[in-house]
C-alpha cells in the first residue's frame, strides 16, 4: 500500500508541476460574434467585398514575448458570401473554393515579432484549396477592458491558391490581388 501511495503522490506532484508551468494565457479565446474576415477583390475594375461567416482560432499570445506565440486559424470556406445569391452559389464550386474537396483554409504561425506601439508581424503558412504559401501578417493590437482587438490587412494573390480557375483565371475579369481584412476580438490576452 505504501508503494501505491508513493506512486499516487508522485503522479499528483507531477500534474501539479505541469499545471504550475502552464502559461497564464492558455485560456485565450476568439470571440466570433465580435470578429470578422472580409475579402476585397476587383471585378472588371469594381471593388467587390465578401466575407467568411465561420472561422475559429487557437492561440497562445503574450504581447511581451511574441516570439513564444502560437496561432492556428481555420476558416470554413463554404461560409464565404458576397451577399448575392447567384455569386454565393458559385463560390463553393471547383473553380473557386472547391469546398467539397477543401472545406477549410488554415493559417499556422511559425514566428511572431513585436514592432512596438501594439504592432506585430506574424509569420506563418497560409493554406487555401490545397496550396500553401508563407506569409507575413501585419497585426495591430488595441485593448479595451478584457477585450483585445487584433486588426490588419493581408494582401494575397488569388491565383497562387488556384481561386478562380479556368475561364476565371483571366485577371481582366477578376483581379489577382485580394485584400484580406480581419478584425479578431480576443479574450485572455495580457496587457500591452
Per-residue confidence at 26, pLDDT binned at 50, 70, 90? low
Q: Where are the domains of the chain?
A: 25-187
pLDDT at residue 182, as a whole number: 97
Closest to 136 in 3D by CA, of 117, 113, 157: 113
Contact 148, 140 (CB under 8 A): no
Is residue 3 predicted with pLDDT exceeding 70?
no
- The average pLDDT across 89-112 equals 97
pLDDT at residue 160, as a whole number: 97
Is residue 19 predicted with pLDDT exceeding 80?
no
The DSSP secondary structure of 148-166, one letter per residue, reads EEEEEEEEEEGGGGT-S-G
Is residue 1 predicted with pLDDT exceeding 80?
no
Q: Which distant-in-sequence residues (6+ apart) come within 8 Å of 143 by Cβ?
A: 149, 189, 191, 192
pLDDT at residue 6, as a whole number: 36
- The average pLDDT across 88-117 equals 97
pLDDT at residue 15, as a whole number: 37
Is residue 49 predicted with pLDDT exceeding 50?
yes
CA distance 57 to 180: 16
- The average pLDDT across 82-88 equals 95
Per-residue confidence at 27, pLDDT binned at 50, 70, 90? confident
**How is domain 25-187 classified at the CATH fold level?**
Lipocalin (2.40.128)
156-170 as b/e: b if 16+ CB within 10 A: bebbebbbbeeeeee
Give the model confidence (pLDDT) of 128-140 as tens digits: 999 999 999 999 9
Cα torsion for 97, 99, 101, 106, to the nearest 10°? Answer: 70
Instruction: Report the range of poorest mean pLDDT among 9-18, 71-80, 112-121.
Output: 9-18
The x, y and z cell numbers of residue 10, run together, are: 508522485
Is residue 122 predicted with pLDDT exceeding 70?
yes
Tell me the average pLDDT of the chain. 88
Is residue 158 predicted with pLDDT exceeding 50?
yes
Amino acid at each position: 500500500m505504501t508503494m501505491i501511495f508513493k506512486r499516487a503522490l508522485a503522479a499528483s506532484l507531477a500534474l501539479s508541476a505541469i499545471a504550475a508551468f502552464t502559461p497564464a494565457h492558455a485560456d485565450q479565446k476568439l470571440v466570433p460574434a465580435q470578429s470578422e474576415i472580409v475579402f476585397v477583390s476587383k471585378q472588371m475594375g469594381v471593388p467587390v467585398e465578401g466575407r467568411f461567416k465561420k472561422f475559429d482560432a487557437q492561440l497562445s499570445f503574450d504581447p511581451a514575448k511574441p516570439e513564444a506565440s502560437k496561432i492556428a486559424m481555420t476558416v470554413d470556406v463554404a461560409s464565404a458570401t458576397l451577399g448575392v445569391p447567384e455569386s454565393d452559389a458559385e463560390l463553393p464550386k471547383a473553380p473557386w473554393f472547391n469546398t467539397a474537396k477543401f472545406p477549410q483554409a488554415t493559417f499556422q504561425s511559425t514566428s511572431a515579432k513585436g514592432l512596438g506601439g501594439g504592432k506585430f508581424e506574424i509569420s506563418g503558412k497560409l493554406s487555401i484549396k490545397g496550396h500553401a504559401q508563407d506569409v507575413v501578417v501585419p497585426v495591430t493590437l488595441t485593448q479595451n477592458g478584457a477585450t483585445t482587438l487584433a486588426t490588419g490587412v493581408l494582401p494575397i494573390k488569388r491565383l497562387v491558391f488556384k481561386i478562380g480557375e479556368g475561364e476565371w483565371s483571366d485577371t481582366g475579369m477578376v483581379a489577382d490581388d485580394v485584400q484580406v481584412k480581419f478584425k479578431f476580438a480576443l479574450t485572455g490576452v495580457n496587457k500591452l
